[in-house]
Each structure stands twice: as C-alpha cells, then as structure tokens.
Amino acid sequence: PATESKRLRIAMQKSGRLSVDSQALFTSCGLKINLREQRLIAHVENMDIDILRVRDDDIPGLVMDGVCDLGIVGENVLEEESLQRKLDNDSFDYTVLKRLDFGGCRLSIAVPQEENYSGAASLEGKTIATTYPRLLARYLKQQGVNARIVNLKGSVEVAPRAGLADAICDLVSTGATLEANGLKEVDVIYRSKAVLIQRKGLTDERQLKLINKLMPRINGVMQANE
Ligand code: ATP
Ligand code: ZN
C-alpha cells in the first residue's frame, strides 16, 4: 500500500575487505543489525533500514539502477562500472555522500622484478592482465600507449609467470602479494577508498530524513577515529 513507509535499502559487501568496516560503521551509527544472520537481507531492528549483503561488484549497479538507495563500495569498483556503463549507454548516475576512512588501496602497474621499466612508454605493445580493463584503458590512452588488455576476474598476479601477460594492473595495499609473485610495483594509476553513495532521484521524505539523521553520525564516528 502507498501509505506504508518504504524501508531504506543499503547495499554492503557480504564478505571481503570492506565488510567488517562497513558493518562497524553501521553499528557505530546506532543501527541494530542481527550479525549472526548470514542472509542476503538483514533488517535493522531499530530503524526503517534493510541491509543487503552482496558481492562488491554488484553494488554500483544496484545503486545506479535505483534498486538500492545507498551503498558502500570501493571507488575502484565504482569508477570501473561507471566507465563501462558510459560505453554501454547505460545509466551511471549516483551521488557520493561521503568518502570513508577505510578500504584504502591503489591500482598499480606491476612488472616482473628483473624487468627494466622507465614509465608508461615501456608498456607499448605489451600485454597487461587486469580486473579493471576500463580504468587501465583510460590510463593507457592518457599516456598515449598502445597495449593489449587481458581481462581476468582473479589470479591476476600469476598471469606473468603463467605466460598470459607481460605486466599486470592490480590492487595493492602492502605490496607483499606482488613480491611473493616475483613482481614489482612501478606505477600507481588510481588511488581508492571506500565511499558511501546514494542513488539519484531519491525523493521519499522519510528516507531523506533518515539519511539526514545518519550523516552527522557518520561524520562523528569518522572524527572520533581520526
Ligand atoms: P567479492 O566477493 O565481494 O566480489 P572481492 O574479492 O572482489 O570480493 P575484496 O578483495 O574483498 O573483493 O576487496 C574489496 C575492495 O576492498 C576492493 O575493491 C578495494 O576497494 C578494497 N581493497 C582494499 N585493500 C585492498 C587490497 N589490498 N586488495 C584488494 N582490494 C582492496
Ligand atoms: Zn568483487
């Protein structure tokens, strides 16, 4: 029925590098979530909010298609999806409500340790494996470099050893994984953090009020963590 209030839907990563921090942020903001329930949808007990727990890759699309109202996702995944949707002429609108203080990482070019590297020009004519083909293509275009991009969903760091690529473009936080695979980080092409995003065209007054109530809490939690 039209009179029934719509619950605010927030998408977060189900399990992975963003889940613990996302859940902690919600909890710090006073949301009472049943953490033991490993279900897709978790109802917040004390507010009109439902938490949807999904793959991080699905979060930008859920918000851009208006299926979820808010989402927490890495800028790397968000930007990659936006670039892809622009190419496909799909909707790619959203608003960033807040850049968060977790999920920090960089998208970097890495090459075998014994390789000489003197800037992006060294990639000319090479094959580069990545999970982020659009971000990499944008970088290569900016640098005026022609290279072949191999799109891998996983195990990117083993691609050079497996003879699938000359270089990789992958997420790095400490560099330990690269080193373990005989690779060295040579260029950073994108710096990312987790962001809280909102769908375009959210007009329900109760939902907007709820967001206006949450934002100062998020700011407060982040200030307290500084
Ligand atoms: P899912 O199963 O949800 O698809 P995933 O394996 O794709 O998970 P994770 O490895 O959990 O993703 O990473 C989620 C996000 O965490 C990344 O997209 C990135 O924004 C951030 N992140 C922070 N540090 C790192 C890192 N060292 N490596 C990879 N991602 C990182
Ligand atoms: Zn993912």
Assign residue 68 the CATH number of its domain: 3.40.190.10
Clarify whether residues 97 and 117 are in a common domain: no
Residue 2 domain-assigned? Answer: no
> Are 174 and 106 within 8 A, CB to CB?
no
Clarify whether residues 33 and 21 are in a common domain: yes
Mutate to test the pocket of ligand 1, among 15, 20, 53, 56 (most ligand atoms within 8 A of CB): 56
DSSP string, 25-82: HHHHTT--B-TT--SSEEEBSSSSEEEEEE-GGGHHHHHHTTSSSEEEEEHHHHHHHH
| 155 touches ligand 1 (CB under 6 Å) | no
| 56 touches ligand 1 (CB under 6 Å) | yes
> Are 189 and 143 within 8 A, CB to CB?
no
Using CA positions, which residue lies closest to atom 20 of ligand 1?
A: 74
DSSP string, 203-219: --HHHHHHHHHHHHHHH
pLDDT, position 21 = 97
Per-residue pLDDT of the chain (226 residues; tens, 9 = 90+): 444 568 999 999 999 999 999 999 999 999 999 766 678 899 999 999 999 999 999 999 999 999 999 999 999 999 999 999 999 999 999 999 999 999 999 999 999 999 999 999 999 999 999 999 999 999 999 999 999 999 999 999 999 999 999 999 999 988 899 999 999 999 999 999 999 999 999 999 999 999 999 999 999 999 998 8
Note the ligand closest to the C-alpha atom of 15: 1
How many Å apart are CA 199 and CA 128, to the nearest integer?
33
pLDDT, position 34 = 79
In order of 89, 182, 197, the CA distances from 121 in angstroms are: 31, 22, 36
| 74 touches ligand 1 (CB under 6 Å) | yes
How many Å apart are CA 13 and CA 51, to the nearest integer?
10
Mutate to test the pocket of ligand 1, among 17, 72, 73 (most ligand atoms within 8 A of CB): 17
Using CA positions, which residue lies closest to atom 5 of ligand 1?
A: 16
pLDDT, position 36 = 67
Q: In total, how many domains does the chain have?
A: 2
Clarify whether residues 32 and 137 are in a common domain: no
Among residues 25, 13, 11, which one has the least CA distance to residue 218?
Answer: 25
How many Å apart are CA 114 and CA 110, to the nearest integer?
11
pLDDT, position 4 = 57
Clarify whether residues 129 and 94 are in a common domain: no
Among residues 96, 103, 98, 145, which one has the least CA distance to residue 120?
Answer: 145
- Supply the range of the domain harboring residue 144: 105-191
8: phi then psi, degrees, rounded to nearest 5: -75, 130
Among residues 205, 138, 204, 201, which one has the least CA distance to residue 169?
Answer: 138
pLDDT, position 35 = 65
How many Å apart are CA 226 and CA 217, to the nearest integer?
14
Ion ligand 2 contact residues with beta carbon within 5 A: 56-57
How many Å apart are CA 184 and CA 204, to the nearest integer?
50
Clarify whether residues 157 and 172 are in a common domain: yes
Using CA positions, which residue lies closest to atom 30 of ligand 1?
A: 171
Quote the ligand 2 centre to 157 CA distance (angstroms).
16
Clarify whether residues 176 and 206 are in a common domain: no
